[in-house]
Chains A and B, each alone.
Chain A
Amino acid sequence: MRWSGVTAVLAGTWMLSLPAGAVAQRRPTLSLGFGLAPTWEETARSGTVTSRSGLLLEGAGEVAVSLVELSVLYRQGGLSTSDGSDQRDLIEGQATLGLRLVRWLRIDTGPRVRAYVTPAGTERWTFWEARIQAGARVIPPLGWAYLQVGRVFSGDLPGVTLDHGRGAEAGLEMRLARTPVVGRLGYWIHRVSVGGAQRVETLQGLSVALNLVR
């Protein structure tokens, strides 16, 4: 049911977008960047909420050829409660295959792999997600605002069942004039409910990054 719903949304978006003209024959671009991601995590487990925060390091890359965009994202860092009593490392990787239907609209899909590392062991979650992103030139031609919403449509979580998951991201990208450097300031949030709402993981953060675009 989830699969068919997502597929219908994507297909409908694709068909609605086609008359506006596809973004054909764009010059291939390559983007590489790194940044910092102040992150807040909230774990609700059987009514008990634990909040952690920390600073993650972030690396990203993207290749765009014609309509197709392939991107990867990696974040890693330690998160701890405010008193330092509970601490765990978070490692998250994400790969997406996107299709830019028109200049302002992109759909993408791909896996997100998350690992919680504690002295007791490592917990690995894999989600398959679909996203849709809209953008606008806010300071033509250098500034670009974007808003993205996504949904987890499948997951591989050892020992627990996935209830649902969704996320959103929005931000601003600004290219420094006459340079290949693009700065990005974004906010993102990702929430996953597992085991019949026995456990809810909410992860949110800022993303301050610099990318080199060729």
Chain B
Amino acid sequence: MKVVATALVIAGISAGYRADLRAQAAEDLVARAVRAYGDVDLDATVGFLRRWFASEAATRAPLDQRRRALTYLGAAEGLRGNADSATSAFERLVELDPRARLDEFIFPPEVTTRFEAVRFRTKVVSVTVAAVTDLRPDLPFTARLLASSPHQIRAALRRPAGGPFRVIYAGLIGDSLSVRWDGRDSSGALVASGTYLLEIFSTPAGGDLQRVVQVPLDITALPGDTLPAPPALPDSLLLPVRRGAGPGLEALFGGIIAGVGLAVLPPVLAPDADVTAWRWAVAGSVSLAGLVGFLRHLPGGTVAANQQANEALRREWRERAAAAAEQNRSRRAEATSLVIRAGQPAVIRLNPR
């Protein structure tokens, strides 16, 4: 029993080891092909690279390694006299990276010339978009396009099962271009949640449609933020409606004290003088004014002006609350922002050679 278990463990370890070795060997194939190209062993170069492209490693390899593999494959096939194979490899290279260039210190002129010719007639763009865009009026969805060579493009959006509903650009692209989309269809309404495709059609001048780059977009429409209701009117903003005792009593006692002062002070200050009786007129006027002021400001009375001011304040608050409620109703009814998640771009050849 122990013998069987030990054998199984050893078999498992060796199987894993062999898988690692295979993966490592596949990754080494590109490096071995480059060394073989340096040794001018073109057959070996092509052999290593075709084995690499057939492996799983090629599908998950980084862009740099795929670009390197296609460059050496195209160069080796061209030097071996396989023009079609070389052209095909270079076309795939341009589709992979329209900005790819061959190093003239490494590759001979017949290779670089062939590549430039292929690049010039291969009309394609690469598309770079943010993985997630929170679309707002000040932040539209933006796609950065890099062209292999100047050509005509048309950028449009469509449902996977429908025709284009919005063309966001149609015209010439030289080197690079940024196209923006505000998340709306041709009628100006924000699109509903769902899956969409951003397509960039590349057409050579005077030629047929050549390639389409498709970017899948997963769009989620979000309802608009609602406005908060205005805060309740604080009591501190309301004026007192009932009159306090202060103003009325100040008027009454102010008038009385001034009147009494007029009556009492002159005889006190000038006891032996003939004080004029005209001061009584002034004392009476002051006292009467105080009494009038008291009656006009009786404590507890209603202050009409304050009442009106408070009512105006409350009316304004009710209007603001109603306006906010109305706006919230319309905001809830329609989406006001989108979240756009972009997938990996894919190149589709429409007239494969």
Contacts and interface: CB of A to CB of B under 8 A. Distances in A.
A136 B251 contact: yes
A189 B278 contact: no
B250 interface: yes
A139 B257 CA distance: 15
Contacts of B285: 172, 185
Interface residues of B, number: 32
Contacts of B261: 147, 168, 170
Contact of B273 (A140, A167, A191): A191
Contacts of B255: 136, 138, 145
B221 to A, nearest CB: 56
B58 interface: no
Contacts of B253: 136
Nearest to A40: B276
B278 A186 contact: no
Interface in B264-311: 265-266, 269-270, 272-276, 278-279, 281-283, 285-286, 289-290, 292-293, 296-297
A140 B262 contact: no
A163 B273 CA distance: 17
B279 A187 contact: yes
Contacts of A166: 269
Given A191-B270, A191-B273, A204-B276, A137 B282 contact: no
Given A51-B274, A206-B278, A136 B250 contact: yes
Contacts of B279: 187, 204, 206
A69 to B, nearest CB: 19
B254 interface: yes
B282 A186 contact: yes
Contacts of A145: 254-255, 258, 286, 289-290
A165 to B, nearest CB: 10
A167 to B, nearest CB: 7
Interface string A128-170: 0000001111111001011101000000000000000011101
Given A147-B261, A189-B269, A172 B289 contact: yes
A33 to B, nearest CB: 17
A170 B317 CA distance: 48
A44 interface: yes
A80 interface: no
Interface string A173-199: 010000000000111010100000000
Majority-rule SS of B interface residues: helix
A197 to B, nearest CB: 11
A123 B29 CA distance: 128
A54 to B, nearest CB: 13
Interface residues of A, number: 32
A42 B278 contact: no
B242 to A, nearest CB: 16
Nearest to B255: A138
A202 interface: yes
A134 B257 CA distance: 10
Nearest to B263: A170
B247 interface: yes
Contacts of A139: 251, 289, 292-293, 296
Contacts of A170: 258, 261-262, 265, 282-283, 286
A171 interface: yes
A134 B254 CA distance: 9
Interface string A33-75: 0000010101010000001000000000000000000000000
Given A145-B290, A202-B270, A138 B282 contact: no
Contact of A44 (B257, B262, B272): B272
Contacts of B250: 136-138, 140
Contact of A137 (B257, B265, B293): B293
Given A139-B292, A143-B289, A185-B285, A204 B297 contact: no
A3 to B, nearest CB: 21
Given A136-B258, A145-B290, A172-B285, A204 B266 contact: yes
A171 B254 contact: no
Contacts of A140: 247, 250-251, 293, 297
Given A147-B258, A170-B261, A202 B273 contact: yes
Nearest to B296: A139
A146 B275 CA distance: 20
Contacts of A134: 257
Interface of A: 38, 40, 42, 44, 51, 134-140, 143, 145-147, 149, 166-168, 170-172, 174, 185-187, 189, 191, 202, 204, 206
Shortest 8 CB-CB distances between A and B: which pairs? A136-B254, A145-B258, A139-B293, A202-B273, A187-B282, A187-B279, A147-B261, A168-B265
Given A137-B250, A187-B282, 13 more contacts: A143-B293, A145-B254, A147-B258, A147-B261, A168-B266, A170-B265, A170-B283, A170-B286, A187-B278, A187-B279, A189-B265, A189-B270, A204-B266
